[in-house]
Amino acid sequence: MRLNEVTISRAILEEQHRALIDLLEVDAAVIGGGPSGLTCAALLGKRGIRCALIEKKLSIGGGMWGGGMMFPRIVVQEEARRLLDRFGVACREFEEGYYVAKSVETVAKLTAAACDAGVEFFNLVTVEDVMVRGDGRVGGLVINWTPVDMAGLHVDPLTIACTCTVDATGHDATIARMIERKGGNIQVKGESFMWAERAESRILEHTKEVYPGLFVAGMAANAVAGECRMGPIFGGMLLSGERAAELVAEALDR
């Protein structure tokens, strides 16, 4: 078989353009491909919800890739182990109630589960604004290529319409802050000191709809609430992603 470079290029362009056009209107858009975002997107996809995951970086996985200080291991507590089991992630009990898993395997299997569930990934894409109309609800996202944003180029963006948006952008709570800056009725308090027990125990109550159409998950939820950070224990991240998916499904009546 002879390979044709133009055919290869056409295949990439046609397939990605088709995916983008098909997903200009979605039920749910998850912003951020870290542990909470991946979990949320995978579970939404499994419910048959039309979902796109937008990640500003080249790679998916967020802070989970590096584990703790670049040691590629993560810890989850007893309550979250069932999610590792659900996604087929191997783990072992270190001490009673503490389970250790490989960070690379965890990211890979969460990503694969989302792909298998029909989630479409848009990496190297930045959300630079949100659409809020007369009903006061987040109804869409303004997107551009991350390199365009990094270079400060004046290139007009495109838009995606979505019924529900999940801010899973981590410590920065990027989407929530956008709305706050433009006068939306939301306050991002910013995360507090490291306190794993408190942060992990309260993250689910902070995972909620914080503005009409906008849900927060993972560290973005704790940042909005002014809650503590937790370091390289990721059970709360997974559980928060699961909770966000439940809330979005309820909002969509699925």
Average pLDDT rounded to a whole number, residues 190-216? 96
55 is in an annotated binding site: yes
Residue 189 and residue 184: Cα distance in Å, rounded? 14
Pairing of strands 73-77, 51-55: unpaired
Q: Largest alpha-carbon pair distance within the chain?
A: 60
Copy the structure tokens of residue 58.
């080249």
Residue of 189, 44, 187 lying closest to 118 (CA atoms): 44
Average pLDDT rounded to a whole number, residues 55-80? 94
Domain boundaries, the chain: 30-66+105-251
33 is in an annotated binding site: no
In this prediction, residue 20 carries a pLDDT of 92
30 is in an annotated binding site: no
17 is in an annotated binding site: no
- CA distance to 114, 121, 217, per residue, from 118 (Å): 7, 10, 21
219 is in an annotated binding site: yes
In this prediction, residue 224 carries a pLDDT of 98
DSSP one-letter string for 81-143: HHHHHHTT--EEEEETTEEEEEHHHHHHHHHHHHHHTTPEEEESEEEEEEEE-TT-SEEEEEE
154 is in an annotated binding site: yes
156 is in an annotated binding site: yes
DSSP one-letter string for 134-185: TT-SEEEEEEEEHHHHHHT-----EEEEEEEEEE--GGG-HHHHHHHHTT-S
Residue 74 and residue 101: Cα distance in Å, rounded? 5
127 is in an annotated binding site: yes
pLDDT digits over 24-64, tens only? 999 999 999 999 999 999 999 999 999 999 999 999 999 99
Range 30-66+105-251: architecture per CATH: 3-Layer(bba) Sandwich (3.50)
pLDDT at 231 over 90: no
pLDDT at 72 over 90: yes
The single-letter code of the amino acid at 217 is A
155 is in an annotated binding site: yes
- Residue 161 — φ and ψ, nearest 5°? -90, 140
pLDDT band at 213 (very low <50, low <70, confident <90, very high): very high
pLDDT at 226 over 90: yes
| Per-residue H/E/C for 215-229 | EECCHHHHHHHCCCE
- Residue 88 — φ and ψ, nearest 5°? 75, 30
**Average pLDDT, whole number, for the chain?**
96
This prediction has a pTM of 0.96
Residue 58 and residue 254: Cα distance in Å, rounded? 31
Copy the structure tokens of residue 113.
């589960």
pLDDT at 99 over 90: yes
In this prediction, residue 88 carries a pLDDT of 98
In this prediction, residue 254 carries a pLDDT of 78
